[in-house]
Chain A
Amino acid sequence: KNEVEQSPQNLTAQEGEFITINCSYSVGISALHWLQQHPGGGIVSLFMLSSGKKKHGRLIATINIQEKHSSLHITASHPRDSAVYICAVAGTASKLTFGTGTRLQVTL
C-alpha cells in the first residue's frame, strides 16, 4: 500500500462542473502539498497546508489531520484546468512523498 493514495486516478468533467480530488495518507506529516503538472512535465505548487483550508481563486484545498485526508476542489472548471494534480506529503525527513496523481480532463 502506498503511503499516499489519490482518487480518482482519472477524471473527466464538463466545463463549469465542480471537481473534487481526494488524497489519503498513512504517515504522520508536517505539511501537505497540492501540485499541478501540465503535459510536458513542469510542476507548479498550488497549495501547502498543515491544517484547515486554503483558497486561491477557483481552487480550494482542505485537510483533516485526524483523518489523514485532504481534498482539492475546483469550482467552475475550465478546459485550462486540464492537468495532472498531485498530492505530496512532507514527513519528518527532508523528502516529499508523492501520490501517483489524478489526471483531469475538462471538456467544453
Chain B
Amino acid sequence: ETGVTQSPTHLIKTRGQQVTLRCSSQSGHNTVSWYQQALGQGPQFIFQYYREEENGRGNFPPRFSGLQFPNYSSELNVNALELDDSALYLCASSLSGRTKNIQYFGAGTRLSVL
C-alpha cells in the first residue's frame, strides 16, 4: 500500500470525448508525475507537477493537460480522445521534483477508448 490513490480504476470512453483522471498523493509529498502505459510497453512520462506548477513534460500533445491542487492532489485531463489513448494511466508521488527521490505509484486507471 503506497498511499497513492487513483480514481476511477477503469473507464470506458468513446473517441472525441474528454476524460479526467484523479490522483491523491502520499501524505507529505509535493510532486506528482503522470505516466501512460500502453499494453506490453513500459510507462511513458506525460508530465510532472511540483507545488502546483508543471515541472517537465514528455512528448505528449497539448490535449493532455494537468492540474495540481494546494493539497498536492492532481488531475490529468485528456481532450478529444483518440483510440491510441487507450492505456493504463499511472500517477506517482514523491517528496520533491528531483528524480532521485523514490516515486510511489498508484494502482493506475485503465482507460479504454472505443
Contacts and interface: CB of A to CB of B under 8 A. Distances in A.
B28 to A, nearest CB: 16
Interface of B: 2, 33, 35, 37, 40-45, 48, 50, 55-56, 58, 88, 90, 92, 97-100, 102-108, 110
Interface of A: 4, 30-31, 33, 35, 40-45, 48, 50, 86, 88, 90-91, 93-101
Contacts of A31: 99-100
Contacts of B88: 41
Contacts, number: 72
Given A42-B106, A99-B42, A94 B90 contact: no
A95 B99 CA distance: 7
A98 B42 contact: yes
